Amino acid sequence: MTERIAADTLAGRPGQSETPPRARRRRYILPFALVLPIVLYEGILVVYPIIQGIYGSFTRIELASKTRPEWVGLDNYERMFSDPAFWKVIQTTLLFTALVIIVALTIGLLTALLFNRPFRFRPAARGMLMMPWAIPEVPTVMIFIWILSPQFGVVNILARMLPGVDQNPQWLFVPELAMGWMVLISSWKAFPFYSLVILAALQAIPQELYEAGRVDGANRLQLFWNITFPGIGSTLELLVVLAAIFSFKQFTIIFLMTGGGPSGTTETIVIRIFNTAFRFYDYSYATALGVAGFVVSLIVALIFILMQARRTQDAY
């Protein structure tokens, strides 16, 4: 029987071992069937709202009126680029984003280096490290509102112990202090995730490289600069992009803590979009602001893609 099937196959005649057409059709359709739910999800919940938002930025939307949105072309964008408040919001957003990237990644790197070293109760310490990241944002805001309370806040009790401080500081009502606390709270919330990713990258570096460096007489700083830092370089690049995107669209902490105040000091682009749409009911201008924020995020992502492509080319 086997010899007959082999002879039929060599002669070009269909034998019993040939895959039936229905089975071949199933194998061809299966990959597309598996991808279809993701495509539908992205298309309906991501791509379509983006297209609608871009289209809405070129119209005038009146929710109180039953008429269709009126096409106004670039009027919303001309208004946006000529608005000094818009550029102030962009400056505030970029400042907040840059500070969060620096503070959160620095703390994440230092804690990752610490937890990469063996010590007693390290698993328990790693679990406690992830607690800030695991706590939802609303309870986090409630905790820090209690900590920064002018009447009974823990920070005020500590500040009153310092020489020259005889009154309770109004942490969230002074512009410079409010921005600093928004950066610290956002960094405290985000750094455990960055620390965990950096720790995984550190543990992937071969220990033989460190042993060879010690044999050559390298000190700890030289080992870090020549082995550790290049080993986690691509991970740090990715985390910089993620931190930029996460902090750029940070809303809950800022909105619940200050609402963008005092005097617009902590008003980032997402806070401005919310206030424009749901406080002033200017939906057309809010969509234009949303498109501007989307473009900035897209530029950040494209920069990371170009950096990764250049790194891949250099590797080959």
In this structure, the number of other CB atoms found within 10 A of the CB of residue 227 comes to 17
> Alpha-carbon distance 91 to 169, whole Å?
26
Q: Is 24 in contact with 31 (CB distance < 8 Å)?
A: no
Q: Where are the beta strands (DSSP E) in the chain?
A: 59-60, 70-71
Instruction: Name the token pair of 285.
Output: 């201008």
Q: What is the DSSP-derived secondary structure letter of residue 57?
A: T
pTM: 0.82
Spell out the per-residue pLDDT of the chain, length 316, in tens. Answer: 445 544 444 444 444 455 677 766 777 787 888 888 999 998 998 889 888 888 888 888 877 667 777 888 888 899 899 989 889 999 999 999 999 999 999 999 999 988 888 878 878 888 888 888 888 889 999 989 888 887 777 888 787 777 777 777 788 888 878 899 999 999 999 999 999 999 989 988 888 888 888 888 888 888 888 888 888 888 888 888 888 888 888 899 999 998 888 888 899 999 999 998 888 888 888 999 999 888 888 887 788 778 777 777 766 6
Domains, the chain, in order of start with CATH, read: 84-315 (1.10.3720.10)
- Contacts of residue 274, defined as CB under 8 A and 6 or more positions apart, other chains included, come to 251, 255
The dihedral through the CA atoms of 261, 263, 265, 271 has a sign that is: positive
- Terminal-to-terminal C-alpha distance of the chain: 52
Q: Across-strand partners of 158?
A: none
